[in-house]
Chain A
C-alpha cells in the first residue's frame, strides 16, 4: 500500500483524540516549525511544490510568500481554512475533518506561524454538523492542552451556499454579508478578510503540511509526480462498485482508481463517461481512462483535476438529462451578482429541458453553444465558467446524443434512462423572476 500523508494512521487509531494523535508524533511538526523562522517554513512548503487541493492547484508556498510580513502590513494577517466543501462529487474534506482533525489544526497552526498570524478561521459548510462537532471538540482539546499557543482558532459555520467555497465569496460571508464574490485584484494575500492580508487554503492543502515537515521535502517529493508531489484524497462516486475516498499519489490513472480501487463499473454495465474533478469540469469519455490524475496531465487532456472528485457515469444515463440536472445546480447556486451567469444559467436550463422534451430545434442546440460562450470568462468568479464547462463538454463529446433528441423529437432512451425525471431543488419553488428565452 502506498504511503499516506493526510489520512495517515486513521485506520488504526482514533485520531480525533489528542493523546492518540500525539502518540503517533502528532503536533511534532508544529513544535519543530515553532523553532524555525517563518521564512524557513515558507521555503520548505515552496520547495515541496505543494499545490492547492481545493480546485485551482495554486502553489501554497507562493501564496504564503505573497502575504506581507508584520512590518509591511497595516494590521494583522489572518489564516482562513476553506472547509466549505460543496463541489458535487467531493466528500474528502469532510473525511479529513472527521478522521484527522488534529492534523488539519496542526497545518493551520504551521501556516499561522509562517505568516506570523494569531488568528485562524475555519469556515465549515453548514450541513457538516457531525464534522463541525468533531472539529470544534478537537480545537477545544488542543486549546486546553496549550497547543494553540498565542493563536486563536475559530470554527465558523456556513449556512448552505455553494458559492461560499469561492474564496472571495467566503470572505464576504465570513465578514457577515451575502456570500458574493469580490472583484480581484486585490487578491486575499494583499487584502482579504476585513481587507487585511489573508492566507486562504483548502482543508486538504493545509492538512498536507505537517507531513512535509515530518518527512522532509525530499521524501515528500518522492510521492506523486514532479509537477505535483504528494498524495491526494480522490473522492470516487457514481456508477462504481466501491465508491469512497482513496488517498493515493498524485498521478494515479483513472483506470487504476476506477477499476483497481473502485472495483469497476457497477451492475456489470459499460462505462460511458467520467467526470475527473467534480461536476464543474469538462467530462471525459470512456477512452480516456489512461489519463493520469494530476493537475497538468488532466489539463493537457482537456479538463481539470479540480477537487479530484471522480464521478463515474455508465451507459444507462442520458447525457441531455445529465446536462439538465447539472445546469439546474449552477442556476440554483449562482449568487446573482453577474448577469451572464445569473441569466445564462436559466437560459441553459430552459433550452436543455426543451431538447430533452423532444421539442428542441437545431437552432436551440446552436443557442446552447452560443450561450455557453457568452457566459464563459464574463463573470467575476469561476461559477459561470463551471456552469458551461460541464454542459459545453457534454454537447461537444456526446453531440450525437443531443442531435438524436432533435431528430427523433423525443429522448432516445424512451423513458429508460437511469436519471429519468430526477428532480432538483430549483423545481420546488422559485424565489426570483425567471428570464425566459425569447421564442
Chain B
C-alpha cells in the first residue's frame, strides 16, 4: 500500500462513513502533486476512496481551494470583497500586477508566483487582506507589495 493510500485509509477510518474523507484526500493529493490536481491525482483519490472518478471530480470542481490547473511555487491571494474594497484592495491588486507583470488569475512566466483574487477571507477588520501560501498578511497596503514580492522571489 502506498503512503498516500495508507494516509487516506487512516482519514476514512476517522468518520462514521468513510466518504466524508474525500475533501481531506483531495487536499493530500494536491499537496503531493505540486499544489494542483492533475487528472491522475483525481483517479488516485477515487481509487483510494473507492468512489467513482465522476464523484471525485464533481467534488473537486465545486470548491475554490482545489486547483485544477498548475499553480506557481507561491500563491498570492488578494481579497477584494466589500470591506477590503472600501479600504484600498484595488490598489493592492494593481501593485501586485505591476510587480509580477501578470493579471490576477495567472502565473508568472518563471512559474514562481500565481496571483489571484479571492472572495471574503474573513479578515475584514484588518483589511486589505492578502494571503501568501495560506498565511494571512493583514493588513497589506499597496506600499507593502514590493517587499512581499521580493521576499517570494528570493525565498
Contacts and interface: CB of A to CB of B under 8 A. Distances in A.
B153 interface: no
Interface string B111-155: 000001111111111110001001110000000000000000000
Contact of A119 (B16, B83, B118, B131): B16
Contacts of A329: 81, 119-120
Given A159-B66, A162-B119, A237 B19 contact: no
B59 A176 contact: yes
Which of A119, A130, A177, A431 has the largest count of B CB atoms less than 10 A from its CB?
A177
Contacts of A431: 61
Nearest to A174: B20
A325 B87 CA distance: 14
Interface residues of B, number: 50
A178 interface: yes
Contact of A159 (B23, B118, B120, B135): B23
Contacts of B123: 91, 94
A129 B21 CA distance: 18
A259 interface: no
Contacts of B41: none
Which of A128, A156, A419 has the largest count of B CB atoms less than 10 A from its CB?
A419
B81 A325 contact: yes
Contacts of B89: 422
Contacts of B15: 154
B90 interface: yes
Interface in A241-272: 243-245, 266
Contacts, number: 170
B85 interface: yes
Interface string A124-135: 011111100000
B80 A129 contact: no
Contact of B93 (A154, A239, A333, A423): A423
Given A94-B122, A157-B27, A161-B62, A425 B127 contact: no
Nearest to A431: B61
A129 B135 CA distance: 7
B23 A157 contact: yes
A128 B122 CA distance: 9
Which of B62, B104, B116 has the largest count of A CB atoms less than 10 A from its CB?
B62
Interface stretch (A24-32, A105-113, A309-317): A309-317
B122 A161 contact: no
Contacts of B23: 156-159, 173, 176
Interface in A146-191: 154, 156-162, 173-179
Contacts of A86: 119-120, 122
Contacts of A127: 65, 118, 121-122, 131, 134
A157 B24 contact: yes
B1 interface: no
Nearest to A314: B86
Contacts of B22: 176
Interface in B53-69: 55, 58-59, 61-66
B125 A422 contact: no
A287 interface: no
A421 B122 CA distance: 22
Given A130-B135, A237-B124, A422 B90 contact: yes
B2 interface: no
B125 A159 contact: no
Contacts of B127: 237, 243
Nearest to B104: A428
B9 to A, nearest CB: 15
B116 A428 contact: yes
A87 B136 CA distance: 17
A49 interface: no
B125 A178 contact: no
B26 interface: yes
Given A88-B83, A160-B63, A419 B16 contact: no
Contacts of A173: 23
Nearest to B20: A176
A233 to B, nearest CB: 11
A332 to B, nearest CB: 6
B147 to A, nearest CB: 21
A420 interface: yes
Contacts of A125: 122
Contacts of A159: 23, 26-27, 63-66
A161 to B, nearest CB: 5
List the 8 shortest-distance A-B pairs measured between CB atoms, nearest first.
A160-B64, A428-B105, A159-B63, A237-B124, A176-B19, A160-B65, A237-B83, A88-B120
21 contacts: A87-B120, A88-B124, A89-B82, A119-B16, A126-B65, A159-B26, A159-B65, A173-B23, A176-B21, A178-B58, A194-B17, A238-B82, A243-B124, A243-B126, A243-B127, A312-B86, A325-B85, A329-B81, A422-B90, A423-B80, A425-B118
Given A91-B123, A160-B66, 8 more contacts: A325-B85, A419-B85, A419-B86, A422-B90, A423-B90, A425-B80, A428-B104, A431-B61
Interface of B: 14-17, 19-24, 26-27, 51, 55, 58-59, 61-66, 80-83, 85-87, 89-90, 93, 104-105, 116-127, 131, 134-136
